[in-house]
Structure 1
Amino acid sequence: MSRLRALLRSTRLLTLTGAGGVGKTRLALEFARALPNRFARVDLVELDSLRDCTVPAQSVATALGVGERAGRTGVDGLVRAIGDTSRLLVLDNCEHVAEPCARLVATLLGRCPRLRILATSREALRVPGETVFRVGELSLPPADAGDDVAALLRADAVRLFVERASNRSPGFSLDRGNARPVAEICRRLDGLTLAVELAARHVGALAPSDILAGLDDQLSQLDLLADGSRTGPRRHRGLAAAVDWSHRLLDPAERAVFRRLAVLVGGFDVAAARSVCAGDGIGPGQVFRILCALEAKSLVVRLPGDAAPTRFRQLGTIRAYAMERLRASGELPGTLRRALAWLTGLADRDRGDVFADQASSPLAAERDNLASVLACATGQDDAARARLTLELARVHYQQEQPSAARALLTGPLGGADAPAPGGEVPALAARVACQQADLDEALRRGEQAVARERMRHDPAGLANALDARAAARLCRGEFTEAVADLRECLDVVASLGTPEEIAWCTHHLAWALLQAGRAPEADALMARCLPVLREQAPWPRTAAALHTAGAVRLALGHLESAERLFTEVLRITPGTSFHSLYPVEGLALVAAESGDPQRALRLYEASARARHRLDTEPEAPWRRTMEQAADRARKLLSPAAREAAVAGARGLHGERLVAYALRARRGADEGSRLTARESMVVELVREGLTNRQIAEQLRLSVHTVATHLDKVRDKLGLRSRTQIALWAADENRKLWFRDIRHALPES
């Protein structure tokens, strides 16, 4: 509301856009009611009953009580009635008469100098001077909120559901028993206001868990969301009616693309939309224009962020409607064939990678699309489906979802009719079994993979199988046998002549040698392979190799170099990834060996909590090393110090944990590496000032402030403003900063 008030002060035409059912009309009405007495009159004109191409001037005239006079058209009469009085005109639901409405608005604004117009529409009117305000979906609860009632109630969608449900069923409240299904209902409905309200209306007749089960069935989803108000606009009496209203406004080509996009449940970029939607009367060159038109009409939404390429998606309820239309059109089989061909093309980009199970898959971003298309495309191109099923299992493995991966490997890919005769499937199954700590199965599948590949005489396949069997043996503590497998694997990979794969296999051998107690030999191997991986490998492989190098240096007692390596891992790893927990634990081991048991225990406890939230476990040898170090730290600390370390760990997660872990053991002495001016900039960042505010206070340019912060990041090894602020907030540094502040001259 405050943002709308600010916008209306600077524009004469403000258009609220968004998907059907997002709440544009309600927001416009509430906004108009809450306006201060700055307008002589506020008028509401509802246009939803007008037919296509009808001139809306008559509806506006009726709402304003303006009759026609001889010799004066409807528009002239409106202009005369409005004159130069200060008025606000609310035009609700303009999308189906967008062109005549735009002409009328342009005329009125041009001839009535003190008129302001607030419009609601599923697409912008595109009138010069128009300001467009996109009404978004309600905020959703975070995925890791669980059944934390307080955390869930901070989400707008959950609060709306609870409010409407309590109106329907007095006494209803959010508690730990119903918190999870209520949160999932709101997520499944994408926070779409009308959908949340319609779902909440069933409370009393149905438990939240039953409502959620109904939403799981796409065929019944729109029926469940059809019990709207009898007194509201007809287009809002059910979600299907709201979407159908938008659908009727599309031209035939737009309708075809709209319904074909329904198979892309995980979102899509322009290339994906072109691959899946072009054909049967739609040319590839048309798809981009149509996609932009659908986005303008709020039938697809752009995903937030500036990552390239831009991705879009259909809201779940809109996609359910589109899928109904796709089935009714008879185009579903053809659309699925094109989707299979597109996904196969993505998979083909990675052909030739020796260790495909551990390579970043181009299909990782398309996991949900891949799963959905495979589930629907039964009876089509069995070879392509088998290939993509293996790719989906790989993605599940790489994302630490071993149960989902194993179901595919033992189901579609593990039966008697399984089309893959080589060792790819059992090799991946061995790795998955390691994730699940099913060690006998891991070795059995690893043996099977090696036996199959020796019969095929395929060097790349044999190398992958040997690597998988070595992974199983490492999990079982059979270090000597694992080293033997990896030596043979390295010999095979060396004959293939790919430097990155040779370096990756060398790194695996170094890790096995470290577990076997042969750290000096492992150190020599890491010196050979680490430069290659730093230069050529994607960040996940580089991070893994840096971690191994850090662990080796730690075993050799070289604490400073181990710390540098673990810190480097942390800098290149996304803070939200489970990969960032390994260097945090490595820095905990460095702290333990350096005589700082409290820091070691705090890092260990914080990492353990993060692993519990992410439901991820480290490899058994690493876990044992960590647990032993944590036990030693506890014994060295007093009860009060132990409690302080554990209490401190509770507040360390995400960026805070990364910032604390990156804080070097030298403590406040790090500050001496900063110049006085850099220190002042850091102190003002700690106080929450923006770059512009810092520039004004220190009488510098914004560019100079940004340059100082870049230098601070380089000197301290920090990555973000949050980390800089946390570093500066350390109690040991506050006095030092205060001295610097007083030492600087006023100029």
Structure 2
Amino acid sequence: MLPRALDSFVGRRQELSRLRTLLRTSRLVTLTGAGGVGKTRLALEFAKGGPRGGRVDLVALDSLHDGTLLAQTVAAALAVGEGAGLSGVDVLVRAIGDASRLLILDSCEHLAEPCARLTAALLSQCPRLRILATSREALRVPGEIVYRVVELSLPPADAGDDPVALLRSDAVRLFVERASSSAPGFTLHRGNGRTVAEICRRLDGLTLAVELAARRVGTLPLSDVLAGLDDQLSLLTDGSRTGPRRHSGLAAAIDWSHRLLDPAEQAVFRRLAVLVGGFDTAAAQVVCAGGGVAPWQILRVLCALEAKSLIARMPGDARPARFRQLDAIRVYAMERLLASGELPTTRQRAIEWLNGLADRVGDEVFADQAGGPLRGERDNLAAALARTTGHDGSSHPRLVLELARVHFQQEQPSVARTLLNGLLREADGRALGGAVPALAARVACQQADLAGALRLGERAVDMERTRNHPAGLANALDARAAARLCRGEFAAAVADLRECLDLVAALGRPHDTAWCTHHLAWALLQAGREHEADVLMSRCLPVLREHAPWSRAAAALHTAGAVRLALGRLESAEALFAEVLRIVPEASFHALYPIEGLALVAAESGDMQRALRLCEASAQARRRMDTEPEAPWRRQVEQTATRARTRLSAAARDAAVSGGHRLLGDRLVAYALRERGGGHRTATAAVHVADDQSTLTAREFMVAGLVADGLTNRQIADRLGLSIRTVATHLDKVRDKLGMRSRTQIALWVAARTKDGRTSLR
């Protein structure tokens, strides 16, 4: 007999449909997923609706701890007694025979091997038997289909406080159902819709967590329930007295999985808690090895933890693969790490691992403009340094510099400048030479603080001239040249870059030489010496096109296109700008430069309507992305747009402006490339420019990053000096732009975003 559910079943229609399909084609399906995701309830709900014409039996295994008694336990649940000298599996085989039957084995994870042996034996001898198992890891039996149960659907970002839109989410519907049971009369309305949606998002749609939070509505206001999620494991306790003990609370659900780990797995599991931004195998080996866990064991343990739903692989095709712990699981792991007394040692290992990555940056001449190994570790850098603030934070100046560099590359100058200002004041920061003021000069350029940029650039050069470090001096000269270019001091910038090129060429580094040559060509172009710039680009472009990362290749192609445009070689310029547009990745603001370049080409060719249409489309995209090009380029584009407006009739001008505003995403790329439609590979390989809402403003990205760090809205407000309401508004905009539902999804997006090369073209 199946137990009768005392409350309603919410959602999971697609999962139920998928299960029916799977069990028609496979005789063993295992539902896997994190503790509390709803595997057992899904299995029971499926059993209520089928299969037709056969018997369904449920065997709950959560209270069984001796695997040798598994067959007897299953026999007892099926009301099968021993007899005629038979016992164990033989009794079950005789009782089931060739009857059509569905056997549900619930909670197999702590008996995975005995369950695997039993299911293999039964399926081989009972031809019409089907088995549906629930487990936090696969049984690994031949013929097994593993179906991962994921979290409940969450409300769309644009649902706002509309109850109708919010109730399309399974998580919201479950919350409302359970809350109304605890607090009769509770309903979802515009006054509480946003709070309910935020609670569900904060809980990642985890079924057990949503149910436990909803039960608090009878004793706490919704605002207090939301505030209490800062400490999820203590708030989400006191589950059902009649349900499985492992579901008595969120901590209990996670603890159930934790107790099934072997000592090495437990050690790695708790130590991973310090890697809040995710990790790959190499990071885990450095941070988690030791204390009886050998480095060679780490890969096996990570695979085991993923199989047991205690870590999750991060989305994307990153190589090597990266993993992370869900927020609630990480909170639990951190508590275990603290209790073990290993927290200080583990944090120190994390610092050593990050320092090791920083050492690999040391060979870069122009590290500020390169995607180094720490680009994807922004969250781990911030977490490691946050723990030393006010204690020994000044002892890690290199990591502070690297964190500031990542923020600079992600166009977050305010955060970067705060970090750099601290280094500029400290003696430890001065030990890094001119690298700190050089980066600070580039950051000041981002903030349009042109006087500050030049002052910092000069400081960087002065510091490096006192050291015998040619690479450092080259970087400082390049930074000062960038400041001078922003100020329109083109001749001085050319002088700096000539000296920089001499230094780099003497180092025998072809790629850095090509990059510096490209910078000099750009400065010469601004100084009106396009013929010399063209000669230099002919030297460096083949190297950068063939060997440089896409961001550097795109910048060099753009410069080459601008040079050819200045020389009146319009066909060549158009081809170069189009090449840039074809190589930039999705969701990158770099696509706006070639679109603007193609607008300039159109204007010089006399097609003013096309020029204005592209200028308007790009301007609209830049407003959405909250990004501006360098001043010389911006002035050139603005002048072209103005010239196009004056030369067009009112009707043609209005049509061009209106047409530009309608050019979004692939349509804009296809139009810029003179392609029909937007489905061609060269168009879709480029960025979705104007309607790609996955590009945030610097402030919004800052908020998203702090969400990824695990901070609450109140903590984010304190960190950024904002009101809680303002933080909530920024977070709403983040969700709207990203089309994401939960804080976990935002965290995963942030982790992936740090790899996609958001660096300035210059």
Q: Tell me, in whole angstroms, the C-alpha distance in 1 between the residues paired with 2:552 and 2:298.
A: 37
Secondary structure, in 3 states, of the residue corresponding to 2:396? helix
User: Once the two structures are superposed, what CA deviation does each residue of 1:688-721 show, in whole Å capped at 9, x if it has no partner?
Assistant: xxxxxxxxxxxxxxxxxxxxxxxx86xxx55659
Q: Tell me, in whole angstroms, the C-alpha distance in 1 between the residues paired with 2:167 and 2:509.
A: 52
Q: 1:515 aligns with which of 526, 541, 551?
A: 526
Q: Tell me, in whole angstroms, the C-alpha distance in 2 between the residues paired with 1:210 and 1:552.
A: 61
Q: Tell me, in whole angstroms, the C-alpha distance in 2 between the residues paired with 1:261 and 1:719.
A: 38
Q: 5+ unaligned residues in a row in structure 2: which ranges?
A: 1-15, 689-762
What residue number does 1:129 align with? 143
Structure 1 residues 231 and 625: alpha-carbon distance in aligned structure 2, compared to 1, 3 A threshold: farther
What residue number does 1:80 align with? 94
Q: Tell me, in whole angstroms, the C-alpha distance in 1 between the residues paired with 2:212 and 2:136.
A: 20
What residue number does 1:350 align with? 361
What residue number does 1:248 align with? 259
State the 1:234 CA deviation: 2.7
Structure 1 residues 493 and 600: alpha-carbon distance in aligned structure 2, compared to 1, 3 A threshold: same
Structure 1 residues 527 and 631: alpha-carbon distance in aligned structure 2, compared to 1, 3 A threshold: same
Alpha-carbon contact 1:16-1:119 (below 8 Å) kept: yes
State the 1:136 CA deviation: 2.8
What residue number does 2:54 align with? 40
Alpha-carbon RMSD across the aligned residues, in angstroms, is: 3.5
Letter paired with 1:19: A
Structure 1 residues 107 and 342: alpha-carbon distance in aligned structure 2, compared to 1, 3 A threshold: same
Range moving further from structure 2, 618-627 or 328-337: 618-627
What residue number does 1:728 align with? none
What residue number does 2:507 align with? 496
Secondary structure, in 3 states, of the residue corresponding to 1:45? strand
Alpha-carbon contact 1:520-1:556 (below 8 Å) kept: yes
- With the length of structure 2 as denominator, give the TM-score of the two structures: 0.79
Secondary structure, in 3 states, of the residue corresponding to 1:226? coil
Alpha-carbon contact 1:84-1:114 (below 8 Å) kept: yes
Structure 1 residues 583 and 233: alpha-carbon distance in aligned structure 2, compared to 1, 3 A threshold: farther
Structure 1 residues 139 and 605: alpha-carbon distance in aligned structure 2, compared to 1, 3 A threshold: farther
What residue number does 1:337 align with? 348
Secondary structure, in 3 states, of the residue corresponding to 1:580? helix
What residue number does 1:588 align with? 599
Secondary structure, in 3 states, of the residue corresponding to 1:624? helix
What residue number does 2:236 align with? 225
State the 1:522 CA deviation: 2.2
Letter paired with 1:244: D
Give runs of aligned pairs for residues 502-651 of structure 1, distance below 5 A. Answer: 502-636=513-647, 645=656, 648-649=659-660
Structure 1 residues 69 and 320: alpha-carbon distance in aligned structure 2, compared to 1, 3 A threshold: same
State the 1:141 CA deviation: 7.7
Alpha-carbon contact 1:575-1:654 (below 8 Å) kept: no
State the 1:564 CA deviation: 0.8
User: Once the two structures are superposed, what CA deviation does each residue of 1:497-529 show, in whole Å capped at 9, x if it has no partner?
Assistant: 322222212211222222233333322222222
What residue number does 1:14 align with? 29
What residue number does 1:370 align with? 381
Secondary structure, in 3 states, of the residue corresponding to 2:582? helix
Q: 1:469 aligns with which of 480, 483, 502?
A: 480
Alpha-carbon contact 1:162-1:174 (below 8 Å) kept: no
What residue number does 1:101 align with? 115
Structure 1 residues 533 and 133: alpha-carbon distance in aligned structure 2, compared to 1, 3 A threshold: same
Letter paired with 2:106: D
Aligned length: 670
Q: Tell me, in whole angstroms, the C-alpha distance in 2 between the residues paired with 1:172 and 1:643.
A: 46
What residue number does 1:741 align with? none
Give runs of aligned pairs for residues 261-276 of structure 1, distance below 5 A. Answer: 261-276=272-287
User: Once the two structures are superposed, what CA deviation does each residue of 1:132-175 show, in whole Å capped at 9, x if it has no partner?
Assistant: 11223456689x97969799969957655775687468343468
The percentage of aligned residue pairs carrying the same residue is 70
State the 1:585 CA deviation: 2.2
Q: 1:119 aligns with which of 104, 125, 133?
A: 133
Secondary structure, in 3 states, of the residue corresponding to 2:133? strand
What residue number does 1:56 align with? 70
Q: Tell me, in whole angstroms, the C-alpha distance in 2 between the residues paired with 1:642 and 1:26.
A: 62
What residue number does 1:703 align with? none
Q: Tell me, in whole angstroms, the C-alpha distance in 2 between the residues paired with 1:184 and 1:264.
A: 25
State the 1:390 CA deviation: 0.8
State the 1:565 CA deviation: 0.7
Q: Tell me, in whole angstroms, the C-alpha distance in 2 between the residues paired with 1:446 and 1:146.
A: 48
Structure 1 residues 258 and 653: alpha-carbon distance in aligned structure 2, compared to 1, 3 A threshold: farther
Alpha-carbon contact 1:299-1:314 (below 8 Å) kept: yes
Q: Tell me, in whole angstroms, the C-alpha distance in 1 between the residues paired with 2:290 and 2:649.
A: 72
Secondary structure, in 3 states, of the residue corresponding to 1:97? helix
What residue number does 1:361 align with? 372
Q: 1:297 aligns with which of 290, 294, 308?
A: 308
Q: Tell me, in whole angstroms, the C-alpha distance in 2 between the residues paired with 1:406 and 1:113.
A: 69
State the 1:86 CA deviation: 1.2
Range moving further from structure 2, 283-292 or 453-462: 453-462
Q: 1:409 aligns with which of 420, 440, 452?
A: 420
Alpha-carbon contact 2:166-2:197 (below 8 Å) kept: no
State the 1:252 CA deviation: 0.8
State the 1:82 CA deviation: 2.5
Larger RCO, structures 1/2 (Cα 8 Å, 6+ apart)? 2
Q: Does 1:91 align with 2:105?
A: yes
Q: Tell me, in whole angstroms, the C-alpha distance in 2 between the residues paired with 1:416 and 1:15.
A: 59
Q: Tell me, in whole angstroms, the C-alpha distance in 2 between the residues paired with 1:158 and 1:660.
A: 42
Q: Tell me, in whole angstroms, the C-alpha distance in 2 between the residues paired with 1:405 and 1:314.
A: 27
State the 1:379 CA deviation: 9.1
Q: Does 1:23 align with 2:38?
A: yes
User: Once the two structures are superposed, what CA deviation does each residue of 1:519-540 show, in whole Å capped at 9, x if it has no partner?
Assistant: 3332222222212222332221
What residue number does 1:65 align with? 79
Secondary structure, in 3 states, of the residue corresponding to 1:411? helix
State the 1:325 CA deviation: 0.6
